């Protein structure tokens, strides 16, 4: 087997890549990194000193690929399957990348800011930053709500990298700022994502670690 993914099942950015791998039944070796464990963390930082997962290693091509979007681009190019994660039409591809960025930057990272604040040492919290993050998420929810009124998936009829980005971002965003009562189209899209087998599998595999999520 050529591909190894360094990841953690509870990690939202790792789930984004797991969805892409599961969509196409791409074979890979799972390598769970425990950042709380000194040895596991140190070994991972030898691969990627930034210390953020997921990271993909392709032994056959001697390549190490960090960053969830870049990993999905790599999979789409070198290990394509039944779900074309990036459309071949160049305009469509650019729009897919834009939505991937949108979900990462304006939902996912804002959610991370809120969750990360819960993990900070006492006295080191950032309430102003958390309020800013929540306000940006609200704006993003409003934009997604308008767009998803007429779409099945983020790009329309076809599932793509943009949905890989949206699923875990919305899953955890819904835990910190529930949207089911306020944004019905976001909620309906999220329900569709939850029944997509690739994401349902990633959610199920994260269940044993769920107690680690800070409430
Ligand atoms: N831009 C990166 C973000 C990756 C990221 O933030 N990963 C988180 C887990 S969801 C992480 O590794 N956190 C550990 C840390 O920051 O120490 C990507 O898209 O892959």
Q: Which residues pair with 136 in a beta bridge?
A: none
What atom in ligand 1 is closest to the CA of residue 52?
Answer: 12
Determine the distance separating the centroid of ligand 1 and the alpha carbon of 53, expressed in angstroms.
5
Chain CA centroid to CA 36, Å: 21
The four Cα atoms 198, 200, 167, 128 give a dihedral, to 10 degrees, of -140
What's residue 146's pLDDT? Answer: 98
Determine the distance separating the centroid of ligand 1 and the alpha carbon of 149, expressed in angstroms.
31
Distance CA 73, CA 70 (A): 5
Determine the distance separating the centroid of ligand 1 and the alpha carbon of 152, expressed in angstroms.
28
Ranges of the chain whose pLDDT falls below 70: none
Find, among 201, 146, 154, the residue nearest to 22 by Cα.
Answer: 201
State which of 9, 13, 41, 69 you would mutate to test the pocket of ligand 1, scoring each by most atoms of that ligand within 8 A of its C-beta: 13
What's residue 215's pLDDT? Answer: 86
């Amino acid at each position: 087997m050529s591909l190894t993914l360094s990841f953690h099942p509870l990690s939202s950015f790792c789930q984004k890549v797991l969805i892409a791998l599961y969509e196409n039944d791409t074979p890979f070796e799972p390598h769970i990194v425990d950042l709380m464990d000194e040895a596991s963390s140190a070994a991972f930082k030898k691969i990627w000193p930034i210390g953020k997962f997921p990271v993909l290693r392709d032994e056959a091509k001697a390549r190490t690929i960090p960053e969830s979007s870049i990993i999905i681009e790599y999979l789409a190019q070198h290990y394509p399957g039944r779900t074309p994660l990036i459309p071949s039409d160049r305009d469509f591809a650019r729009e897919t990348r834009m939505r991937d960025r949108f979900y990462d930057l304006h939902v996912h990272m804002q959610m991370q800011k809120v969750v990360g604040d819960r993990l900070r040492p006492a006295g080191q919290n950032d309430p102003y930053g958390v309020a800013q993050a929540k306000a940006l998420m609200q704006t993003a929810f409003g934009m997604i709500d308008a767009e998803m009124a007429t779409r099945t998936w983020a790009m329309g009829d076809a599932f793509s990298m943009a949905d890989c980005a949206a699923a875990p971002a919305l899953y955890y965003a819904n835990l910190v700022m529930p949207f089911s009562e306020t944004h019905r189209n976001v909620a309906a899209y999220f329900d569709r994502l939850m029944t997509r087998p690739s994401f349902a599998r990633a959610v199920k595999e994260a269940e044993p670690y769920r107690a680690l999520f800070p409430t």
